[in-house]
Structure 1
Amino acid sequence: MDIPLPPLKPEFLAMLVKGVSLTLSSCDHALNPSVMRAVGSRIDDGGRRVTAYLGRAQSRQLLADIASTGRLAAVFSQPSTHLTLQLKSRRVRIREARADDRPYLQSYLRSMEQEVSAVGFAPVYARALLAYAPDELVAVEFEPDEAYDQTPGSKAGSPLVSAP
């Protein structure tokens, strides 16, 4: 039986819920990596359930690797602060995107427009970076098994959770 990850520290949970840069990765059975930028995210249950959204055509290898190995790593990074969190999971489910996912995608885009503006880029950059064809959208749902502080500095790589 899998033990659920305790709630994340408040500063990391607030960052995830806000919506920041998200990259997903996996690998095949020979450990060849696959990586893709997500176009949105949804955080539920204190960070114990995460949904990341990908464009299917651009993410074929990553989706195949996740389906084959059941392994996923997700890196969330806030451009304006470099606060960075890595989540790892072996409890992953891929599904079609639904109409009820749209508000999360819109909120994520607004947040990323603000984030790229804070570091000197026009909001149009975020819109181009996160563009997708609605009929190509896929949702990757997962329950994190591990969490690491990946913020540059002396604590990078440290396990990161709150006390239960």
Structure 2
Amino acid sequence: MSDPSSSVSGALIDAELAAFLATAGVSISVGSRNAGHLPNLTRAVGCRIADDRSRVSVFVVAEQSRELLDDIRANRHVAVVFSEPHSHRTVQLKGGDALIESLAAGDRQIIARYRDAFTAELGALGYSGLFVQTLIDSSAGELVALSFTPNAAFSQTPGPKAGAPLGGA
């Protein structure tokens, strides 16, 4: 899943992009692949960016993500797509060193803020709060963090620059 030709440093995730990834009401989808290169996908319920912006952690419900977590244990490759529904702005990050971790102090508050932001984002588009709460319900199981160092980042916003590496590469 990683593309070594699109090397990414923590500096690539500037303050504006970090805010988009972690505090905007974005939809977060997490993808992996198994040994047969078959994809697995799950929805994340929040995101934490390291203070130095070199590592990204996304939160998933373990019971809803078993196959994806098995893939991560086997090959550590992950792709995460962040998409803002009202603008369609979309960013993809890839990593090859993903780890499954327990939640850290403060992560449950990040998840609650994400739920509120995503509910507001979709509410502005006419979706009910109940719909959004059901879509990103994280109350029915153990939450884990998937933490990785982005080694590739791309704009995936529909249009002529879709697929272009971020950072001027």
TM-score (norm 2): 0.86
Residue in 1 that maps onto 2:36: 30
Residue 146 of structure 1: which of 147, 152, 158 is its match? 152
CA contact (8 A) 2:82 2:90 kept: yes
Cα shift at 1:135: 4.8
CA contact (8 A) 1:6 1:161 kept: no
Aligned CA distance change for structure 1 residues 11 and 151 (closer, same or farther; 3 Å): farther
CA contact (8 A) 1:84 1:150 kept: yes
Q: Give the secondary-structure state (helix, strand or coil) at the position aligned to 1:107.
A: helix
CA contact (8 A) 2:10 2:52 kept: no
Distance 1:107 1:126 in 2: 14
Distance 1:68 1:138 in 2: 17
Give unmatched runs, 5+ long, in structure 1: none
Give unmatched runs, 5+ long, in structure 2: 1-6
TM-score (norm 1): 0.89
Q: Percent identity?
A: 36
Determine if the alignment matches structure 1 residue 39 to structure 2 residue 45: yes
- The residue type equivalent to 1:88 in the other structure is K
The worse-fitting range, judged by mean Cα deviation, of 150-159 and 95-104 is 95-104
Q: Give the secondary-structure state (helix, strand or coil) at the position aligned to 1:108.
A: helix
Within a 5 Å distance, the mapping from 1:34-73 to structure 2 comes to: 34-45=40-51, 47-73=53-79
Aligned CA distance change for structure 1 residues 154 and 10 (closer, same or farther; 3 Å): farther
Aligned CA distance change for structure 1 residues 137 and 128 (closer, same or farther; 3 Å): same
* Structure (1 or 2) with the greater helix fraction: 1
**Number of residue-to-residue matches in the alignment:** 162
Distance 1:134 1:143 in 2: 28
CA contact (8 A) 2:48 2:110 kept: yes
Q: Deviations over 1:35-56 (max 9, x none)?
A: 0011111122364221111111
Distance 1:17 1:46 in 2: 14
Residue in 2 that maps onto 1:125: 131
Cα shift at 1:123: 2.0
Cα shift at 1:30: 1.2
Cα shift at 1:17: 2.7
Q: Give the secondary-structure state (helix, strand or coil) at the position aligned to 2:67.
A: helix
